[in-house]
Structure 1
Amino acid sequence: MATEQPRENRHDEIDAILERKDGVRETRDEADKYTVVGAVSRDTYANWLTPVEEHFVCHRNDIPDADADSWRVSLTGDLEGGYSLSELKGEFPTVAVAHTMECAGNGRGQHRPETGSVQWGNEAAGTAVWTGTPISSVLHDQLEDVADGTWLTAIGGDPSDGDDVFARSIPLSKALDDCILAHEMNGRPLPPEHGFPVRMIVPGWYGVNSVKWVEELRLMDTMVVENSLDRPGEHAYWQQKSYRIHPADVEPESNETVETGDTWEQLETGEPAHPYAFDQTVMSLIGAPNGESPVSVPDDGTVEITGVAWAGDDDVAGVEVSTDGGDTWDEAELFGPDYAGAWRLFRCGWDATPGTHVLASRATDERGRRQPMRISNPDAWRDALEDDEFPWNEGGYAANAVLPNAVEVDVESP
C-alpha cells in the first residue's frame, strides 16, 4: 500500500530541519519513507528539559503548508462544531504540560536480526513543555450521557501520497484526564515539524498517539477501524496494522476496543494477542558520561553518573546503575522536577578507576516492573519477559532493554 512506498520529499524536510536544529542528526531509514532525526549526543539525557534543537522528529507524510489563521479543528462523530486556532487560544483555559515524548520505535535498531524501517538507537526521546488547550475544556459541553469505553480519534491534516489517513484513537478517559491541543513547545510557537499549528499531546504515551497537524477530533464507540471515518481512503492502518507488537510474519487482527492502554500489561496478559503501542514501558538512559571522550578521574576519585528515567503513566520507583556491564548494581538517587508523564533525573557517584568500563542503568516503575536486560531472539515471543528479555517483534516497538543502551566509557588517570 502507499504507506510502504519511498517518499522523496522527506530528504528536503530533513535537510531543512538540520539547518535549524544543530542538536540532531538524520537516522537511517531502510524504507526511505519517514522524516527522522534524533539527538546527536547522550548529553541530551543528562538534562531534564530537551531543547527544541535536540528533540527528535518522526513522521511519515509531508509537512502540510499550514496557515494558522485559517486552520480549524473540526468536532465530528458524536460531537458537533469546531474551533479555529485563535478560538482555542482565546475561548478556553491555557495550560502547560511536561511530557516525555518517545517514538514507539525507539530501540528498533537494537533488534537482531534487524527489523525494517527506521533504525533508531536510543535517540528518539525528549522532554518538552507543551502549552495548549485542555481537551476536557474543548469537549466539556458535549459529553452528557457518554458511555464508558468511548474513544476519541484524532486525524492529522498531513497530506498522504496514497490513500491512507493518519488517524489514531485513544480512550476518551485518557483524553479528558491530561491531554491537550498544543500550540507551543518550550515556550515557542510550535515548529512545523512538531505539528504546527495544532498537535494533540498525550502525556506518558508513545509519540504516535500525539497526532500532529490535528484537523479533526471524532468521538466514537470504538477505536478507528476500516471505514469508520466519513472520508475516502484507508482509515485503520496506523491504528490496527502499524504500531502493533507481534512476532514475524503475523497479520494482527483488528479490535474495536481493548481493556487497557497499558502496553506492558497487554504483553503480560496476552490480551489482546498483539498489543497496541499506547502507554510507554519503563525506560532509562545514562546521559553523562556520554562515552564520546575519555573521563578524567577528579581529585576525590568520584565521577557522577547522570541520566533520565521514565515509565509512561506510571511513576518511576527507582533506578539502579552498573559500572561493570550489568554484573553488579548500585542504587541511584532520583532528583529534579517530578511531573506525571515526564522523565526523572537520576544520579549516582562512581569510584572510577582507569580503564574501559561499561555503564548501564535500569529503572523500575511503581508497579514493580523493571527493564529487562536484553532483547530476545525472534522465537522467544511470549516467554521473553519471564527470561528478563524484551520480546523481539517485527515492528521493533516499545523496546526498553538495558544492555543495548549501555555506554562504554574510557577512564584516564588523574
Structure 2
Amino acid sequence: MVVETPREGRHDEIEAIVDAKDGGVKPVRDEADKYTVVGAAARETFANWLTPVEEHFVCHRNDIPDGDADAWTVSLTGRVEAELSIGEIEDRYPAVAVAHTMECAGNGRGQHDPETGSVQWGFEAAATAIWTGAPLESILRDHGVESAEGTWLTAVGGDPADGDDVFARSIPLEKAIDDCVLAYEMNGEELPREHGYPVRLIVPGWYGVNNVKWVEELRVADAMVVQGSLDRPGEHAYWQQEAYRIHPRETDPATNETIEAVDTWEQLEGGVDHPYTFDANVMSVIGTPDGESPATPKADGTVEIRGVAWAGDDAVDRVEVSADGGETWDDAELFGPDYAGAWRLFRYDWNAEPGRHSLVSRATDELERRQPATISAPDAWRKALENDEYPWNEGGYAANAYEPNGVAVEVGSAADSDGTE
C-alpha cells in the first residue's frame, strides 16, 4: 500500500515554479504536504482560449527528475520491444500539434463537504495549451502494432518515488492511436521541466493523471496495469487501480484488468462499479467579470460575461449563464477555436443592474449531460445524480458542480464608465 508521506523538497519546487511563472500561478493547500501544486492565480485565465505557460497549473507527487534529452530514452515493451531516443522521436516521426484542455482529476476536491484529503483545489486546475510531438499512431504502427481492440497502453513515468511505487497509468490503445502524442514542446517552446521535460504523454480531453510526465516506458498489453505486470520492482498498480478511482468512503475498489466503459460519466451512471478517471466530465468556468473589482456596464447597460467550457472527448453543445445564482438562465454564445479535446469560449451580454449579483455558468455536452448544481452529502453516492448533484467521493475526483464555481460581482452604474467600449 502506498503511503502519503510529506516531501520537504516540494516547497522549494513550488517557490521556484511560482517565481518562474511570474505570478501567473499560486500555491494550493495540500493536506498530505506531498504534492507540488500550483494553480491559476487569476480567474481571468479562464476568459481566454490559450493558457500561457505562466498560468498553466502544475501537479505532481514526486521530485522532478534530472532529465537530459540527449540521454533520455523511451522503452517500448509488452507486445513490442524497442527503445527510442528523444532525437529519434523528434526526427523519425511527423510532428503534430494538438490542443488539449488539461484538467486535474482532483479539480474541485476542495469543494467537497466534508473535505477529502490531499490537494484542496477549487477550479484553478484546468488549462488549455498546444502540445507538439510525435503521434503515438506513427510510433506504434512503425513497430508492428496494428490492432487496438481490447488492448491497453501503459505509460510509466521516470520520476523517482520516495517509496516503492511506480507511477504507471493505462489507457485504451484505441484512444492512444486515435489522437495521443509524445510531446516535447508546449505552446511552441521546449517542454518545461515541471510539465514533463523531455517528453510527456498527451491524452487530449482526458484528465491530467493520464497525461504521464517524464515518460520512460510505453507498454502494449491485453490488460491495464496490475501488480506484477511491469518488469521492474515496486508497486505497479496503485495509481491505476486504487488512486484516481471514484467511490464512496471506506471502500476498496476491485482490481480490473479491463473494462468496457471508459467514458467517466458513463461509468458514474453504472458502467463500472468504482469508476476510473479517464475523459473529463462536462465543465465550465466564468473568467470575467472576476469579482475582484466592480463591473461597470458599457454605454448600452451591458456587461460581457466570458468564460470557457469543456467536455472531454465530447463536444460542448450549450452553455447557460445565470446572474441570480441559478434561479433563471440564459443561453450564452459559443465562439472561437473548436478543437476536439479542448475547451470552447463562451460569452453573454448581460443587462446588468447596479448591485451585487451571483454569476454561475453550466455547460451541457452533445450527449445531453449537464453540470449538476452541487456536490452531494457523502452517503448519497450514485443517487446524487438523480437530484442534480455530483456524488461526494472519497478521493474528491472528477467534480463538475457549477454552484461552487460561481462568482459574486458588484455592478456599478453605467454613468461610472469612462465612455470606452
TM-score range, shorter chain: over 0.9
Structure 1 partner of 2:353 = 353
Structure 2 partner of 1:250 = 251
The sequence identity of aligned pairs, in percent, is: 71
Structure 1 partner of 2:211 = 210
Please list the CA deviations of residues 274-314 of structure 1 after superposition, one character each: whole Å capped at 9, or x if unmatched. Answer: 00000100000000001111111222101000000000000
User: What is the correspondence of 1:127-142 to structure 2 with a 5 Å cutoff?
Assistant: 127-142=128-143
What is the distance in 1 between the residues matched to 2:130 and 2:147?
Answer: 31
Structure 1 partner of 2:362 = 362
What is the distance in 1 between the residues matched to 2:346 and 2:2?
Answer: 43
Consecutive unaligned residues in structure 1, runs of 5 or more? none
Please list the CA deviations of residues 96-150 of structure 1 after superposition, one character each: whole Å capped at 9, or x if unmatched. Answer: 0000000000000000000000000000000000000000011113345646210
Structure 1 partner of 2:30 = 29
What is the distance in 2 between the residues matched to 1:368 and 1:3?
Answer: 40
What is the distance in 1 between the residues matched to 2:104 and 2:142?
Answer: 33
Structure 2 partner of 1:96 = 97
User: What is the correspondence of 1:50-61 to structure 2 with a 5 Å cutoff?
Assistant: 50-61=51-62
**For the Cα contact (< 8 Å) 1:2–1:161, is it kept in 2?**
no
Structure 2 partner of 1:288 = 288
**For the Cα contact (< 8 Å) 2:376–2:392, is it kept in 1?**
yes
Please list the CA deviations of residues 372-414 of structure 1 after superposition, one character each: whole Å capped at 9, or x if unmatched. Answer: 0100000110101111100000000000001000100011123
What is the distance in 2 between the residues matched to 1:257 and 1:10?
Answer: 34
**For the Cα contact (< 8 Å) 2:2–2:238, is it kept in 1?**
no
Find the residue that maps to 1:31 and give its secondary structure. Answer: coil
Find the residue that maps to 1:11 and give its secondary structure. Answer: helix
**For the Cα contact (< 8 Å) 1:240–1:253, is it kept in 2?**
yes
User: What is the correspondence of 1:120-131 to structure 2 with a 5 Å cutoff?
Assistant: 120-131=121-132
Structure 1 partner of 2:391 = 391
- Residue type of the alignment partner of 1:40: A
Normalised by the length of structure 1, the TM-score is: 0.99
**For the Cα contact (< 8 Å) 1:326–1:360, is it kept in 2?**
yes
Please list the CA deviations of residues 164-190 of structure 1 after superposition, one character each: whole Å capped at 9, or x if unmatched. Answer: 000000000000000000000000000
Q: How many Å apart are 1:250 and its aligned residue?
A: 0.6
What is the distance in 1 between the residues matched to 2:73 and 2:377?
Answer: 47
What is the distance in 1 between the residues matched to 2:259 and 2:282?
Answer: 21
What is the distance in 1 between the residues matched to 2:144 and 2:70?
Answer: 28
What is the distance in 1 between the residues matched to 2:25 and 2:70?
Answer: 30
What is the distance in 2 between the residues matched to 1:98 and 1:88?
Answer: 20
Structure 2 partner of 1:182 = 183
What is the distance in 1 between the residues matched to 2:181 and 2:207?
Answer: 15
User: What is the correspondence of 1:263-412 to structure 2 with a 5 Å cutoff?
Assistant: 263-269=264-270, 271-412=271-412
Let me know the Cα RMSD of the aligned residues: 0.9
**For the Cα contact (< 8 Å) 1:105–1:397, is it kept in 2?**
yes
- Residue type of the alignment partner of 1:159: P
- Residue type of the alignment partner of 2:65: P
What is the distance in 1 between the residues matched to 2:262 and 2:38?
Answer: 27
Find the residue that maps to 1:296 and give its secondary structure. Answer: coil
User: What is the correspondence of 1:42-53 to structure 2 with a 5 Å cutoff?
Assistant: 42-53=43-54
What is the distance in 2 between the residues matched to 1:382 and 1:130?
Answer: 36
- Residue type of the alignment partner of 1:6: P
Say whether 1:230 aligns with 2:231: yes
Find the residue that maps to 2:178 and give its secondary structure. Answer: helix
Q: How many Å apart are 1:358 and its aligned residue?
A: 0.3
Normalised by the length of structure 2, the TM-score is: 0.97
**For the Cα contact (< 8 Å) 1:3–1:164, is it kept in 2?**
no
Find the residue that maps to 1:295 and give its secondary structure. Answer: coil
C-alpha spacing 1:361/1:273, structure 2 compared with 1 (3 Å)? same
Structure 2 partner of 1:71 = 72
Find the residue that maps to 2:386 and give its secondary structure. Answer: helix
**For the Cα contact (< 8 Å) 2:107–2:398, is it kept in 1?**
yes
What is the distance in 1 between the residues matched to 2:93 and 2:397?
Answer: 36
Find the residue that maps to 1:137 and give its secondary structure. Answer: helix
Q: How many Å apart are 1:263 and its aligned residue?
A: 0.3
What is the distance in 2 between the residues matched to 1:60 and 1:348?
Answer: 39
- Residue type of the alignment partner of 2:286: I
Find the residue that maps to 1:342 and give its secondary structure. Answer: coil
Q: How many Å apart are 1:370 and its aligned residue?
A: 0.3
What is the distance in 2 between the residues matched to 1:188 and 1:142?
Answer: 29
Structure 2 partner of 1:157 = 158
What is the distance in 2 between the residues matched to 1:82 and 1:146?
Answer: 21
Structure 2 partner of 1:4 = 4
- Residue type of the alignment partner of 1:127: T
Structure 1 partner of 2:106 = 105
Structure 2 partner of 1:118 = 119
- Residue type of the alignment partner of 2:273: A
- Residue type of the alignment partner of 2:19: E
Please list the CA deviations of residues 339-390 of structure 1 after superposition, one character each: whole Å capped at 9, or x if unmatched. Answer: 0000000000101011110000000000000000100000110101111100
Q: How many Å apart are 1:261 and its aligned residue?
A: 1.4
- Equivalenced residues, count: 413
Structure 2 partner of 1:168 = 169
What is the distance in 2 between the residues matched to 1:301 and 1:357?
Answer: 15
- Residue type of the alignment partner of 2:359: L
